[in-house]
Amino acid sequence: MTKRKQARHHQIIAELTASPVVRISSLATQLGVSAETVRRDIDELTRQGLVERTYGGAASQHIGFQPAVLDRDRMAVIERARIARHAAGLVGDGDVVMIDAGSTTTQLARALAARPLSFTVLTNNIDVAAALGHNPRCRVILAPGDFDGRERGLFGAETTAFLHRFHADLAFIGASGITADGATEVETRAVWVKREILERAARTLLLVDSSKFDSRHLEIVCPLERLGGIVTDRVPGGALGLAIRRAGLNLEIAPVDQNMLDSPQKNV
């Protein structure tokens, strides 16, 4: 997938967080492309389970559904890579870090694996463990539990009980969305793991790209006040931005990678 197509897909998802239904004609004008290009984009997003095709447009998915983690890996790739690199830079030598299961947290693990640090990671995600296993200076502790192939993670009572035995300097969690009410999530099993991780770490950070702003899902993981900070790709506005400021959260905006901006792009 080219970067221009990725950017269009990201924008379509972002528009659907603000409005439950968008028109192809409106999207074509905003994106500066033909209606046929937008139709192809929506068809592709529909096949991935990210949106629902409607007559003349697209609709957001149900609040109780999200695509599998391998499908989510194709969305907001550049933004999540920025977030991951910035978050990796917050880990210091000797730190104990907890990382939960998710597409952005897997990107974080890949960025961490390249850092010349000695640190310990506890995780319930096999992709996080595999990525960090390539760094001989990183000790990886994988939580037990019931394996979910869609999420590439381990969940359940054994997982939370295991994590409860440890303390961490820093915790990174992802979420399906974030609203003024807090971080939101589709999977209840994942929510319990996230809450346990938040309880065990001295500093907690939510990694979330801007397509998830104002995105409501089935369950609230925690109110904004429970988070230590947020790492994202742009400053949120509206009610969410106001709620973040009122909660006094440390909002960290991942810088743009100039190498990505300078790389050639192909027309689609």
Segment 101-111 shows an average pLDDT of: 92
Q: Residues 215, 130: one domain?
A: yes
**Which residue among 61, 80, 108 closes a domain?**
61
Q: Residues 51, 135: one domain?
A: no
- Domain CATH for 50: 1.10.10.10
Please check whether residue 268 lies inside any domain of the structure: no
pLDDT at 245: 95
Question: 247 vs 96, 176, 198, 244, CA distance in Å?
Answer: 26, 20, 17, 5
Range of the domain at 43: 3-61
Segment 228-257 shows an average pLDDT of: 92
DSSP class of 134: T
The amino acid sitting at 249 is L
Residue of 88, 94, 201, 86 whose CA lies nearest to 137: 94
Size (the chain), residues:
268
pLDDT at 47: 76
Tokens in use for 37?
């290009």
- Domain CATH for 222: 3.40.50.1360
Q: Residues 101, 230: one domain?
A: yes
Give tens-digit pLDDT for 166-202.
999 999 999 988 999 999 988 888 999 999 999 999 9
218 pLDDT exceeds 50? Answer: yes
For 252, counting Cβ atoms within 10 Å of its Cβ (0-12 exposed, 13-18 middle, 19+ buried), the class is: middle
Give tens-digit pLDDT for 7-63.
888 788 777 765 656 888 888 998 999 999 999 988 888 777 677 676 677 766 554
- How far from chain centre, in Å, is Cα 232? 9
**Which residue among 42, 61, 80 closes a domain?**
61
Domain count, the chain: 2
- How far from chain centre, in Å, is Cα 59? 21
Q: Residues 36, 158: one domain?
A: no
Tell me what the pLDDT averaged over the chain comes to: 85
Half-sphere exposure of 72 (CA within 13 A, CB side): 24
If pLDDT is split at 50, 70 and 90, which confidence band does 258 have? Answer: low
Give tens-digit pLDDT for 123-172.
999 999 999 998 899 999 999 999 988 778 999 999 999 999 999 999 99
Q: Residues 34, 122: one domain?
A: no
Q: Residues 56, 127: one domain?
A: no
If pLDDT is split at 50, 70 and 90, which confidence band does 249 have? Answer: very high
pTM: 0.71
Q: Residues 226, 187: one domain?
A: yes
pLDDT at 191: 92
pLDDT at 102: 87
Segment 78-104 shows an average pLDDT of: 93
- Residues contacting 84, CB < 8 A, separation 6+: 104, 107, 108, 110, 111, 207
Whole-angstrom Cα distance, residue 118 to residue 120? Answer: 7
pLDDT at 267: 34
pLDDT at 53: 72
If pLDDT is split at 50, 70 and 90, which confidence band does 203 have? Answer: very high
